[in-house]
Amino acid sequence: MSQPTPEVYEQGKGMDAHNQVMREIRSRKEASYDPHEPTRVWLDEDNTPTGVKQSLTIILNTGGCRWARAGGCTMCGYVAESVDGGSVSHEALMNQIDVCLEHERENGDEPADLIKIYTSGSFLDEREVGAETRRAIADTFADRERMVVESLPDFVDREKIGDFTQHGVDTDVAIGLETATDRVRHDCVNKYFDFADFEDACAEAAAADEEAGATADAGIKAYLLMKPPFLTESEAVEDMISSVERCAAVEGCHTVSMNPCNVQRYTMVDDLYFNDGYRPPWLWSVAHVLEETADIDAIVVSDPVGHGSDRGPHNCQECDDLVQKAIKDFDLRQDPSVFEQVSCECERTWEVVMERERSFNQPLTR
Amino acid sequence: MTEYFEVHERDGAARVGELRLDFEAVAGDADSDTDSNPNSVPDRTPPQTTPALVDDVLEDAGSLWSAEREFPEGDESALTVLPHRSFPGGTADEVQDSFAVDYPDVEFPSVAVVSSDHVDDHGTDAYAVSDVQSFTGHGAGLVEAVVNVREEIPTDTALFFSGVATPRNVALLAYAGVDLFDRTAAIVKGIEGRYLTTDEAYFLEDLEELPCSCPACQQPREEFTREDCVDHNVNALEAELGIVRRRIRDGRLRDYVEGQARQDQWLTAAMRELDSQWGYLEERTPILRDAQIDAATEDTLRRVEIQRYADRVTTRYQNRFKNPLVLVPCSAAKPYSESQSHRQFHDAIQWRAHLVSMTSPIGVVPQELETTYPAQHYDTVVTGRWSEDEKQFVSEVLRRYLERNEYPKIIAHVPNEGYRDIVGRVEEELDLDITYTVNEHPTDDESLANLSEALSGELKYSKREREHNTVRAIADYLLGDGAGDDLFEDIQTTSRYPKIQVRDREDTQLATMVPQYGTLSFTLAGARRWVDSDAPVKRVEIDGFVPHGSVLAPGVVEADEEIRVGDEVVVEGPKAFGVGRAEMFGREMAESSRGIAAEIRHVEEK
């Protein structure tokens, strides 16, 4: 964790270019958001190390991602959903939490066992969410079984995790690693930390786990991105298989969430997509990676967003819902035989694309 | 600069080239992996002659986006795509600039990847274009991309489009200037259940019968699978490429594309957009051909050959006769003077007037240039119906012609359909007073009598004047405005039209008229006179050697940029002075590292 702030990361020609372009792209959107409302909140169910749980997912509006303000990741449009400029106050953040609890009461039968908090930034970055707010939120959810909070690896330390585990809540830090391949993370995603930083964060989580003893578990949930811009379908698949394997091999990382890229507005990916230079991955690719990595020692899940649409991961339209269902089924059961139940003529097309797509003829299909 | 690719035939921007790989090694490889690769098609000829599919000889050293790559060792039997970072369509300039890859010089056949809007000469034998999927399917986009890439990479390198060629579009792509393709799109479409022909991309499930008799289609419809469809698509693509190569060799690809492009709107759009790229297409279009031009569509009017003739006749040519002008309709027989109708016109005129024929699609043809390409090399569809485009084109050329050339009297001996309308427009625009002599038909007795009557009292010009003015007019046309007077002010002519020989006062031969193209071929004395004249010289500067037969491109030091294929050129170096005919255009001679630049007719040591 040699480079603690995004400002310091901003170095190197490729990154300058990516940032310059992304700043321009993002500037096309003019919108402002109420700091007293969360960006989004929804109920779902999730596979955790202790089984499938009802979950409440909160996307907290914390003033947005600092890195995105510098330019940021090539596929990420969430920054556009954050308040302009400065940070969000303790009171406003707690108002957002109240809105989420209200949502849960209205839409859920009982309090969710699992609380997931994302910020489009780093929940553990104290410039985004101060220590006071973090502890207040930890207190709010002290009666739940498990929490997931999102953070860049730099901000993961055992004391901050301890704020949650002290209540006996199992705590995971979700890290948007995107890929274990530094080259792809830097040049295609424009995200500037290394796999080594992720490993360090996992070590912090492992230490927090140790310190919490029997009262609670702590660990890391790695988020991977399938098919950032500039990769062919087969390169993307290969990158994911090796990334899942490498993440699962790190102590402290018990879950890998491997998610296909979708085309969000006001991103570099959107510009490529608009010019026929990008196609989101095939759902067959997602299924293939899950199948190939099914025997490793970690939970591997995937939650394709916008499946079946042109802007989301898709096959041929005919089989999108079936394959999506198999993926969600796999998420809960971790049984690769679910993929034997689905087949479609377009699987051969996917195979041909895997074999023949090159960076100088992509995308081969729409 | 390339050692592994050589252009042998040119037809506009299209070329027949040779991939100079070690094909014995390729054949060996192909035998060994036909079993393992389900998509390999056995018994294909290696892609020695382009435009061709290069799948079997392409080695991809890989993308640097996904991984560091070991630099390839390369291989004489393969085109190796050097490690690259491709920029798909929509990649911002800043990203392309900062992630650009350096391609080191290598000793083996190599391919660099460029994007259509960021192109550099990387010294490789071929160039793959990274954003092909973005502009294929869009006429203007395709043309902008091809022209942009072609104008940056050396002319003797091959242009490679991966993942887009289909039986329907490949003729247009080759016509635009693409040399190398692959089977990828045909395979992908086939496996998706699209049955490709030169006219369509049919849904296989919609076909009651297979509209093809290639080997893959030799089976009952119900047994024909998507895998068979892949084989058929590749067969159809190969067959179309065979036609394309034949057409290029014949100099008739444009005629084919005018028809084939009708099978998809964007292809026609691309052809028309390319016609607007005058600089790109004109430079690559020969000034003469053996082949006929089929004037069968409205697009023929926009052909470089047609536009160039109209341009030169109205900016370079000048009328030197003092006699009245007679405008007459063209004839089906060529040259016109040998036709029935023109013999009858001639009998009435008796060398008392300067004869200019009006025609679609050529415009106007002065009698001196009736043999000059393409005036006797086109065949039009005769219906007697004129389209508004044709009328506009011919009247525009006629107007420009009459603005430049003055006559004491103008007689229009033209039929009423179309011709009369055109002459009338120009008469009004230029405020002329034109005598019309046709009653019912130009060759009826009354009309011919009117024509003769209109010229009564006019003096005949001599055979000498006629022949002198003919070779001067051809010199104007070929070499530039005023060249006829600069070179041939004081000459004598011998032999019979159309094989006129041009001699100086001392009887030394300077040039001969070439009847089949209406051009001039110079002797050494003629070439010297050209060099000494004020007329612009199409000069090829060579190294210190004496060429015999051909001048090869590596021997060319510099070449005039105005040189076109078929042009008469002066070839000069420290050791030799010669004259011959250009086989490449000027920039190509200077840039190429292989191939014949010019054929020498006469040469002498210095």
pLDDT tens, residue by residue, B548-557: 999 999 999 9
Mean pLDDT of chain B: 95
Architecture of domain A6-356: Alpha-Beta Barrel (3.20)
Q: Please tell me the total count of domains within chain B.
A: 3
Q: Is the pLDDT of residue B36 over 70?
A: no
Q: Is the pLDDT of residue A97 over 90?
A: yes
pLDDT band at A365 (very low <50, low <70, confident <90, very high): very high
Q: Do B164 and A362 touch (CB under 8 A)?
A: no
Contacts of A276 in chain B (CB under 8 A): 88-90, 133-134
CB atoms within 10 A of CB B297: 17
Same domain, B248 and B365: no
Q: Is the pLDDT of residue B602 over 60?
A: yes
Q: Residue B29 has which token pair? A: 């490889």
- Quick one: pLDDT at residue A29? 76
Domain boundaries of chain A, sorted by first residue: 6-356
Residue for token pair 């209205």: A106
Closest Cβ opposite residue B88 in set A184, A277, A356: A277
B150 within 8 A of B114, measured Cβ to Cβ? no
- To test the contact with chain A by mutation, choose from B36, B64, B133 the residue with the greatest count of A C-beta atoms within 10 A, namely B133
Report, as an integer, the average pLDDT of B414-438: 96
Considering only alpha carbons, which residue of chain A is nearest residue B134? A276
Considering only alpha carbons, which residue of chain A is nearest residue B66? A184
- To test the contact with chain A by mutation, choose from B33, B64, B66 the residue with the greatest count of A C-beta atoms within 10 A, namely B66
CATH code of the domain in which B352 resides: 3.40.50.10630
The fraction of chain B above a pLDDT of 70, given in percent, is: 96
pLDDT band at A85 (very low <50, low <70, confident <90, very high): low
Domain extent at residue B250? 5-278
- Asked, for residue B429, whether it belongs to a domain, the answer is yes
- Quick one: pLDDT at residue B26? 65
Q: Do A14 and B98 touch (CB under 8 A)?
A: yes
- Asked, for residue B120, whether it belongs to a domain, the answer is yes
CA distances from B452 to A26, B322, B475 (A): 80, 18, 31
Identify which has the larger pLDDT, B24 or A293. Answer: A293
Q: Is the pLDDT of residue B385 over 70?
A: yes
Report how far residue B216's alpha carbon sits from residue B42's, in angstroms, rounded to the nearest whole number: 13
Closest Cβ opposite residue B163 in set A14, A183, A361: A361
Report, as an integer, the average pLDDT of B555-575: 97
- To test the contact with chain B by mutation, choose from A183, A358, A364 the residue with the greatest count of B C-beta atoms within 10 A, namely A358
pLDDT band at A164 (very low <50, low <70, confident <90, very high): very high
Report how far residue B451's alpha carbon sits from residue B443's, in angstroms, rounded to the nearest whole number: 10
- To test the contact with chain B by mutation, choose from A354, A357, A360 the residue with the greatest count of B C-beta atoms within 10 A, namely A360
CB atoms within 10 A of CB A232: 24
- Quick one: pLDDT at residue A121? 81
Contacts of B91 in chain A (CB under 8 A): 271-272, 277
Report, as an integer, the average pLDDT of B228-245: 98
Lowest mean pLDDT across A24-28, A265-269, B218-222, B231-235:
A24-28
Sign of CA dihedral B579, B581, B586, B588: negative
CA distances from A14 to A182, B93, B122, B299 (A): 14, 12, 21, 46
pLDDT tens, residue by residue, A332-351: 999 999 999 999 999 999 99
Same domain, B423 and B542: no
C-alpha closest to that of A325 among A337, A339, A312: A339
Same domain, B182 and B255: yes
pLDDT tens, residue by residue, A37-70: 998 999 999 999 999 999 999 999 887 777 888 8
- Quick one: pLDDT at residue A30? 65
Report, as an integer, the average pLDDT of B230-251: 98
Mark which residues 209-268 of B lie under 8 Å from A by CB. Answer: 226
Same domain, B241 and B303: no
- Asked, for residue B313, whether it belongs to a domain, the answer is yes
pLDDT band at A148 (very low <50, low <70, confident <90, very high): very high
pLDDT band at A82 (very low <50, low <70, confident <90, very high): low
pLDDT tens, residue by residue, B479-522: 999 999 999 999 999 999 999 999 999 999 999 999 999 999 99
Q: Is the pLDDT of residue B271 over 60?
A: yes
Q: Last residue of a domain, which of B254, B278, B302? A: B278
Residue B50, chain A, CB below 8 Å: the answer is no
- Quick one: pLDDT at residue B38? 45
Contacts of A268 in chain B (CB under 8 A): 92, 95
Q: Do A363 and B63 touch (CB under 8 A)?
A: no
Contacts of B162 in chain A (CB under 8 A): 358, 360-361
Q: Is the pLDDT of residue B28 over 70?
A: no
Same domain, B269 and B360: no
B153 within 8 A of B116, measured Cβ to Cβ? no
Q: Do A358 and B60 touch (CB under 8 A)?
A: yes
- Asked, for residue B326, whether it belongs to a domain, the answer is yes
Residue B115, chain A, CB below 8 Å: the answer is no
Same domain, B168 and B309: no
Contacts of B131 in chain A (CB under 8 A): 275, 277
Report, as an integer, the average pLDDT of A183-195: 96
Closest Cβ opposite residue A235 in set B66, B92, B134: B66
CATH code of the domain in which B171 resides: 3.20.20.105
The phi, psi pair for B502, rounded to 5°, reads -100, 125
Same domain, B216 and B361: no
Q: Residue A310 has which token pair? A: 């042109």
Percent helix, strand and coil across chain B, each rounded to 5?
A: 40, 20, 40
Same domain, B10 and B45: yes
Report, as an integer, the average pLDDT of B528-552: 96
Q: Is the pLDDT of residue A233 over 50?
A: yes
C-alpha closest to that of B258 among B381, B388, B137: B381
pLDDT tens, residue by residue, B132-189: 999 999 999 999 999 999 999 999 999 999 999 999 999 999 999 999 999 999 999 9
Residue for token pair 């081969």: A364
pLDDT band at A2 (very low <50, low <70, confident <90, very high): very low
Grouping H, G, I as helix, E, B as strand and the rest as coil, residue B128 is strand
pLDDT band at A73 (very low <50, low <70, confident <90, very high): very high
Q: How far is A197 from chain B (nearest CA, A)?
A: 20
Grouping H, G, I as helix, E, B as strand and the rest as coil, residue B120 is coil
Closest Cβ opposite residue A187 in set B65, B185, B193: B65
CA distances from B496 to A137, A353, B70, B346, B356 (A): 106, 67, 70, 18, 21
Q: Which strands form B492-494's sheet, in the order they lie side by side? A: B492-494, B501-503, B509-514, B519-522
Same domain, B311 and B245: no
Q: Last residue of a domain, which of B223, B248, B278? A: B278
Mean pLDDT of chain A: 92
pLDDT band at B195 (very low <50, low <70, confident <90, very high): very high
Residue B273, chain A, CB below 8 Å: the answer is no
Q: Is the pLDDT of residue B37 over 60?
A: no
pLDDT band at B40 (very low <50, low <70, confident <90, very high): very low
Q: Is the pLDDT of residue B584 over 50?
A: yes
Same domain, B262 and B313: no
- Asked, for residue B582, whether it belongs to a domain, the answer is yes
DSSP H helical ranges for chain A: 6-9, 13-27, 66-70, 90-107, 131-140, 158-165, 182-184, 195-212, 233-248, 268-274, 283-292, 320-333, 346-356
Q: Do B68 and A352 touch (CB under 8 A)?
A: no
- Asked, for residue B416, whether it belongs to a domain, the answer is yes
The fraction of chain B above a pLDDT of 90, given in percent, is: 93
How many contacts (CB atoms, under 8 Å) link A and B? 140
Q: Last residue of a domain, which of B251, B278, B305? A: B278
Q: Do A349 and B192 touch (CB under 8 A)?
A: yes
- Asked, for residue B465, whether it belongs to a domain, the answer is no
- Quick one: pLDDT at residue B45? 63
- Quick one: pLDDT at residue B10? 94
- Quick one: pLDDT at residue A70? 83
Q: What ipTM does this complex have?
A: 0.91
Q: Is the pLDDT of residue B29 over 60?
A: no
- Quick one: pLDDT at residue A83? 58
- Asked, for residue B395, whether it belongs to a domain, the answer is yes
pLDDT band at A9 (very low <50, low <70, confident <90, very high): very low
What single-letter amino acid sits at B205?
Answer: E
Same domain, B570 and B423: no
- Quick one: pLDDT at residue B33? 44
pLDDT tens, residue by residue, B53-82: 999 999 999 999 999 999 999 999 999 999
- Quick one: pLDDT at residue B1? 58
pLDDT tens, residue by residue, B74-120: 999 999 999 999 999 999 999 999 999 999 999 999 999 999 999 99
